[in-house]
Structure formats: C-alpha cells, structure tokens
Structure 1
C-alpha cells in the first residue's frame, strides 16, 4: 500500500509541475529549464515505483523520450514550437508508454489549435504589433493532466 501512496505522490508532484508550466507559459511565454529538469528527473522514480525492468522497460522509455525530443526539435528548428515546449514533451515522454503518449499528443494537438486561435484572436482584438507568441505549454500541460486523470477516472467506467 505504501507503494501506491508513493506513486500517487509522484503523480501529484508531476501535476503541480504541469500547472506551474502552464502558469509561467501564460505569463511570460517561457517554460523554465529547471521545471523541465524536475519532470525528467522524477521519471526514474516513477519507473522504480512501477517496477519497470531495465530491459526493455526503462530502455524503451529513454528511446521514446529521445525520439519525441528529436521530432519536436525539428519543429523547433522550423520555428513551429518553443524550446521549453520541446524539452517538456521530451521529459513527459519519460513518464508514459507509447500508446498513452500518442493519445496525449492527439489531445495536445487539438488543445494547441484552440490555444492558437484564442491567442491570435486576442492579439488582433487588442491590436498588438508583431507575431503572437503561442503559449503551447498550456496545451501540453492540460493534455498530460488529462492523461494522468484518465488513469484514475477510467476505473469508474
């Protein structure tokens, strides 16, 4: 039972970090490297709490995270995403197996579209100059929070 409390504590800590990422991204359009580092560093604790074996479990998570980071780094290179967003996606990929991660990315894409539309409309209504900066970290965080919540809410379905 103690192990379940530890897992819940890790998920709560991750949720708090995701909320902090959303708030800072909304306020300053920056997701702290330190925040992304905390997300990444907590993942091995999550693996150990879930008895993930070194091979293939932990190795697959590392490969998955590096792959997600590389794919989104290409989008960063084309100016489609911010660096903090890319780092946060790589760090979150350490937490989730590939199937739930794909679900999270789909939800993130839909929410990202909504965030983009709202940001562009707000930018135009307030007649600001220059290109609007999209707080995509909000979409990433909400999608990850959805994934965390789904784990517990689906037990009632």
Structure 2
C-alpha cells in the first residue's frame, strides 16, 4: 500500500518536471505502436519543454549548454541514420529531443539501452509476424500494422523505454529530492 508520508516532498514545479518527460515518452511509444509515426508536434513540444523545465529548476547555464550540445549532436547522428534508411525521421527527432533532456551524463546509457531494446523489439516482431493472426486481433488496425512483414519497426517504443530507464537515473530525479 502507498504510504503518502514516504513520498518525497517535491514542489509542484518538480512534480511537473518529473512527470513531463515520462508522459511524452509514453505518448511517443503509443503513437509509434498505433500508427508507426511519432508526430512532429509531440517531439517539438518535448524539446520546447526542456528549457522551461531547466529554467524552472535553476539548471546551471553550463549544464544547459551541454544538454543543448549533445541534443544537437544526437539530431545530426539521427539524421545521418535516417538518411541511410536505418531509422525513420520521427525516430531521429525523438532521439534528439530525448537526449536533450537526458544530457551528457545519460546519453551513452540511453543509447545503449535503446539499442538493446530495439534489437529485442525487432526480434519479437520478426517472430510475431510469422505467427497466424487470431481473428479478434485481426480487427485491430494497429496490431495488423505491427504484424505486417512489409512494415518497419516502431523504434520509438525502444527509444521511449530507454529514455524512461535513463531518466530514472538522471539528475532530474536526483535534483528534485
């Protein structure tokens, strides 16, 4: 049972910062699973929420600069991967917006975790796509897209899961305590 007395004594702003990132991660994963797309408005809003959260939590300017630098570098890497056809454009932008939030301390962990989870997701989908589709599930368009071997992999699911795992270890949570 949840004991309210043991919850950290966060301010409203800290609760908003702590909840904003996970909400966007879950929304991106759900969108990618349902439609094989991560909307630009979602990624853009996530990126725009970062400086607001940083200012509201008094992130030092040096840290803000490093977050911006690794976020920009992630965008360049993501666009390179998109240009080669390895990932979708939404995944590239979502990767960069997530790295912007996580910063230099978590970028490597996030990338490694997301890569492993993406590989597992790919293996799962390859196996799933070989199975016959039960009738009730065949009526669900989004499940049929996931089942279609001609479709890609909704990599945003792996990126979101990796982002949530890295966020749990980030300075955002440590700084809110």
Smaller-chain TM-score range?
0.7 to 0.9
Q: Which has the higher helix share?
A: 1
After superposition, the C-alpha distances for 1:11-30 in whole angstroms (9 at most, x for unaligned) are 21221111111111111100
- Total equivalences in the alignment: 153
Normalising by structure 2, report the TM-score.
0.77
Structure 2 residue 29 is matched with structure 1 residue 10:
no
Q: Secondary structure of the equivalent of 2:130?
A: helix
Instruction: List gaps (5 residues or longer) in structure 1.
Output: none
Instruction: Identify the residue that residue 149 of structure 1 maps to in structure 2.
Output: 168
CA RMSD of aligned residues (A): 2.5
Structure 2 residue 72 is matched with structure 1 residue 72:
no
Instruction: Identify the residue that residue 112 of structure 1 maps to in structure 2.
Output: 118
Residue 2 to residue 130, structure 1, CA distance change in 2 (3 Å)? closer
After superposition, the C-alpha distances for 1:94-116 in whole angstroms (9 at most, x for unaligned) are 21221212111111011000111
Larger Rg: 2
Instruction: Identify the residue that residue 3 of structure 2 maps to in structure 1.
Output: none
Instruction: Identify the residue that residue 5 of structure 2 maps to in structure 1.
Output: none
Normalising by structure 1, report the TM-score.
0.86
Report the CA distance between 1:153 and its aligned residue. Answer: 8.7
**Counterparts of 1:149 and 1:115 in 2: how far apart (Å)?**
21
